[in-house]
Structure 1
């Protein structure tokens, strides 16, 4: 893609945020778009947010589990940026109308205590860099109409990022075997999904290693204090106003998101 086309595609995604109206798939509007193009589009979208005063507070790995890859029809992970404006507080009302087509998924969030920069990051490096973990719920969303996404579409759309809710119980990394941590997600008291940490690339730690080694050569360093979402332990489920979502993750504790509409806040 030419630079002008990258800017055009990024603006289409930004317009969807502004208008609340999803757009047609990027691959339909811009035939021949590649994964490399998609990351360039994502970078331009994030650049515009930063120019508007937002800040990067972490990154996410998307499509890291077989369940999510199967659900979305892809065969590899991707990554996106987490911005300050995306973080929501646990138990407090979240305006569902902020999102276009929201879904929710449970994750084990890493909070970094040290800088992590690839290439060459190992599992040992990643473990040393983690300050603690907390249970999290990621609100995924798509600016692409009806979630008709390819890997190119979701990458361009910042890995279908929407929001993040962090639990309040920190656990040191050596206090839990993350691959064996079990998860039960419920919506309005009904179980909607179960999973284990090992569903995420064999272990959520592997997702962190993949992320550091993928973004490092692109000039991005994972910074102390940043939140890293390694990928979902279950399928994503649709949510809307009136829904209360809880993910319980054994010894890691639980996290709850409460969705309302703007008139109830």
Structure 2
């Protein structure tokens, strides 16, 4: 692994460990790319993400699934990409529905409502059909992803967010599983409220036209990378509406038609000055 990529990974880990946001790492990606012209910046950014994920696992953190980002067409156009990205979900990133979230548990938190899918079968093929995916999904849950960035002021480009584990922060799952046949994943409406006041609205179609499209892309991508999705994995399929910045004491509730509600509650006081 190129020394510049190791430096990028170290910078992100130190920012996470110390709670102080760091400078973007895209310059280090560019430095590595200059020495490895046969590579591409996206693959190098994923190398940084994978390096830190391996270190996290060696320290005992348990991966429990994947998150999908950049599922909104508008965000893809903003970053000049034509496909989503992904990051690793770890068990220690999960928080209980409505339970207080310590403010310093997530860097520069923003909140978005999503549909989570939980698998009951492996997805090992490099090209899956929709039928493969439908058979593999046990149930869906409403979810709130607390997106976080280790990079100061969210000054990110595509390679920054990929390297930073797709800006993964925390996630909260609802507690009432629903079978897919009971859902309209495309037409389901979503409302995200802050203490009862709507702050973001959307629908299933906002996620790559159908959350299953995002999940199918992820399944194929992970299989091609030799890390196929497995039974028990949680998939956060992507935002159903605009993300909203959080502040200490905020309580967000997401309601998704057919799935019910889930809440993310932030503690009232910041732990760090």
Instruction: Name the structure 2 match of 1:23.
Output: 22
Task: Write the distance in 2 (CA, Å) between the matches of 1:72 and 1:252.
Answer: 31
Q: 1:209 aligns with which of 209, 216, 219?
A: 216
Q: 2:103 aligns with which of 85, 96, 103?
A: 96
Q: 1:222 aligns with which of 226, 229, 243?
A: 229
Contact 1:113 1:131 in 2 (8 A): yes
Contact 1:195 1:234 in 2 (8 A): yes
Instruction: Name the structure 2 match of 1:161.
Output: 168
Instruction: Name the structure 1 match of 2:145.
Output: 138
Residue 261 (structure 1) shift: 4.6
Task: Write the distance in 1 (CA, Å) between the matches of 2:150 and 2:177.
Answer: 33
Task: Write the distance in 1 (CA, Å) between the matches of 2:265 and 2:12.
Answer: 27
Instruction: Note the alpha carbon deviations across 1:24-52, whole angstroms, 9 max, x for none.
Output: 11113443550010000000010110011
Contact 1:67 1:234 in 2 (8 A): no
Which SS does the other structure have where 1:60 is aligned?
A: strand
Contact 1:116 1:126 in 2 (8 A): yes
Task: Write the distance in 2 (CA, Å) between the matches of 1:189 and 1:121.
Answer: 41
Contact 1:100 1:142 in 2 (8 A): yes
Instruction: Name the structure 2 match of 1:255.
Output: 262
Say if 1:193 and 1:68 are closer, same or farther in 2 by CA, change over 3 A. farther
Structure 1: where are the runs of 5+ without partners?
none
Instruction: Name the structure 2 match of 1:66.
Output: 73
Instruction: Name the structure 1 match of 2:123.
Output: 116
Contact 1:136 1:166 in 2 (8 A): yes
Instruction: Name the structure 1 match of 2:12.
Output: 13
Task: Write the distance in 2 (CA, Å) between the matches of 1:92 and 1:68.
Answer: 30
Map of 1:235-246 to 2, 5 A cutoff? 235-246=242-253
Contact 1:68 1:234 in 2 (8 A): no
Instruction: Note the alpha carbon deviations across 1:82-122, whole angstroms, 9 max, x for none.
Output: 00110000111111222221001000000101111231111
Q: TM-score, normalised by structure 1?
A: 0.94
Contact 2:147 2:169 in 1 (8 A): yes
Say if 1:49 and 1:248 are closer, same or farther in 2 by CA, change over 3 A. same
Contact 1:68 1:236 in 2 (8 A): no
Task: Write the distance in 2 (CA, Å) between the matches of 1:67 and 1:243.
Answer: 27
Aligned CA-pair RMSD: 1.7
Q: 1:86 aligns with which of 68, 93, 109?
A: 93
1:176 aligns with 2:161: no
Question: How many aligned residue pairs are there?
Answer: 263
Structure 2: where are the runs of 5+ without partners?
34-40
Q: TM-score, normalised by structure 2?
A: 0.92
Which SS does the other structure have where 1:194 is aligned?
A: strand
Q: 2:49 aligns with which of 25, 42, 46?
A: 42
